[in-house]
Structure 1
């Protein structure tokens, strides 16, 4: 179930399910598409196992210089090639989760969100539904996801899928 507090993107790619799964689970692939346009991913550490941790570093050029953001999380569900669920929280460069107070938000504000990726094989195509729970669809995070999925599609084209 999604609501306005969730980003939900559905896309059908002209690529096999194995490759779409790799885009989400292999650090080298992930680092090549994740983030909004203009972002780079200098850190992509991903232990894709239930209970495994992830630490992602993103750098975005802004008119005021480079902005760095870090995210950490834990893999909660893994059904190879069909379903991936992980948590995501803002973190510092060392991978320590940031509190609401550190983020300038009221104490007690939930800081952990979750990402659900569902894949379905459609012959030579793959249908993907990605839901980021706890991130409003009309937020900068929602816009960033839309750009990231466009970058994934471009990356797939570059790979000749």
Structure 2
């Protein structure tokens, strides 16, 4: 189940996954899982450095299907409530984690330098409701489509992992 809402400055997506809450948490917090689903269809994640603690840094590289374009983001974990709530900032970056101007990454004028992602997880008795809010994203940024494609990949990855357990 998917439900998307775009406000002027946030993308909010709600999904329900047929997997326990702790497994969905691992998908967001363990690099080996995160790399399998993050990004739109066809994109890969060759780098996912995630220092999972409040104040810990993250550095993610998302690569286009043909590998010709790499998009780096960096951020900081600002809130972590295991299996329930994850909040982090996200900014365009270079491969060393230095924040760069969004326009240097090909983003349109007015694109924010720093956004915030909040993930809320709720146990539904073996299933999990996830609400992801990407605050600061312009409504016309395409973020909703990208996130929904990523969450389709997440659902497929969960099926693979969940059937192995």
Q: Deviations over 1:122-155 (max 9, x none)?
A: 1010100000011134422221111001100010
* Distance change (3 Å), C-alpha of 1:101 and 1:61: closer
> Structure 2: 5+ residue runs without aligned partners?
1-5
Q: Deviations over 1:104-137 (max 9, x none)?
A: 666x864000000000001010100000011134
The reply to whether residue 150 of structure 1 matches residue 152 of structure 2 is yes
Q: Deviations over 1:26-56 (max 9, x none)?
A: 0101000000000010000000100000000
* Residues in 2 aligned to 1:23 and 1:101: alpha-carbon distance in whole angstroms: 30
TM-score, with length taken from structure 1: 0.89
* Distance change (3 Å), C-alpha of 1:109 and 1:61: closer
The structural deviation recorded for 1:66 is: 1.7
Bigger mean CA deviation after superposition, 24-33 or 136-145: 136-145
* Residues in 1 aligned to 2:102 and 2:160: alpha-carbon distance in whole angstroms: 39
Q: How many residues of Structure 1 are paired with residues of Structure 2 in the alignment?
A: 157
> Structure 1: 5+ residue runs without aligned partners?
none
* Distance change (3 Å), C-alpha of 1:14 and 1:109: closer
TM-score, with length taken from structure 2: 0.87
Select which of 35, 43, 47 maps to 2:51. 47
- Which structure has the highest helix share of the two? 2
Contact 1:16 1:126 (C-alpha < 8 Å) held by counterparts = yes
